[in-house]
Chains A and B, each alone.
Chain A
Amino acid sequence: MSSIHLPIEVLYNILGRLPVKGLIRFTCVCKPWRDFITNPDFISTHLNLHRNIDGYVLHHKMASTGAGLNCCSCLHDKTYIEYSRFDIPFLYFQLAGSVNGLLCLSDSYQYFGRTIYLWNPSIWKL
């Protein structure tokens, strides 16, 4: 296809409808797209458009003694398809709270002091 100049509002309209996974992938389409997708204005517009669409279930898998890390998965609440996953670097944790899709996890094992992790499941980042 020949190159067309996409007006910014058209780009907003199309990319705003994409799931986060697609957006993360398309940050490597070109530099203007990367800057557009990672722009805080776009991110908050996207968050507002996609608020409260789906529910999720957290699943905590304990590692068998001594081997490997604990794993925490975020599953879709209807299909149970794994949506995000991360390895927890401590044995016991509790969910301190969540807001805007971010999860705050804290180390609940008292002797190890207070470690706090902020997890954004939709971009697989801690």
Chain B
Amino acid sequence: MASSSSSSSTQVKKITLKAADGKHFEVEEPVAMEMETVKSFFVGNEDAMKDMVVPLLNVSSEHMPAILDFYRNHSEFRKRTPPPPAEEVKAFNEAFLENKSDEQLMEMIMAANFLNTKELLNFLTEAAANRIKNKSVEYVRAFFGIENDFTPEEEARIRAENEWAFDGLDED
């Protein structure tokens, strides 16, 4: 795929991605290729299939704009010389997570996992870990939609054995 864009290319090639609900997204090739799932779609048929629409069965269109925004910005950060100041990257990342509910964050993690896109997945799972690390067990169950399958006695025993781990938590 690198050969097609080696000469003075003024126009960036676009790839069309189709979200689970059928909505289409036109994406610049380098951005789309950050996603291993998209990349592997073209392996072995590089140029012939560039006009095809790539179906992303597990990604809802709700999160596509944010995911693409993340990669457009981060690939721009990587290309820039000198590299952008750490505060600028941090500010972008913080703004990216702002106003995202726990549910939206988890849905995006599932999307990033399906798209097999390491940078975004690492960033989002770090955010999820930060949201739960000082929280109670009840909060975490609600966060992930997990049902407690311990009996009250079993749970009480684990808590009693590790009392120190339940001190000094943030409020839910």
Interface residues in chain A, defined as those with a beta carbon under 8 Å from any beta carbon in chain B: 1-4, 6-7, 9-10, 13-15, 17-19, 21-22, 24-31, 33-34, 84, 123-124
Contacts and interface: CB of A to CB of B under 8 A. Distances in A.
Interface residues of B, number: 36
Interface of B: 102-103, 106-107, 109-110, 113, 121-122, 125-126, 128-129, 132-134, 136-137, 140-150, 155, 158-159, 162, 164-166
Contacts of A7: 110, 113
In this complex, the member of A13, A15, A18 whose beta carbon has the largest number of chain B beta carbons within 10 angstroms is A13
Secondary structure class of chain B's binding surface, majority of residues: helix
Nearest to B156: A28
B145 A4 contact: yes
B125 A1 contact: no
Contacts of A3: 144-147
B102 A1 contact: yes
Nearest to A6: B144
Contacts of B132: 14, 18, 22
A88 B110 CA distance: 47
A13 B137 CA distance: 19
Contact of B165 (A1, A6, A9, A25): A25
Contacts of B143: 1
B141 A29 contact: yes
A30 B150 contact: yes
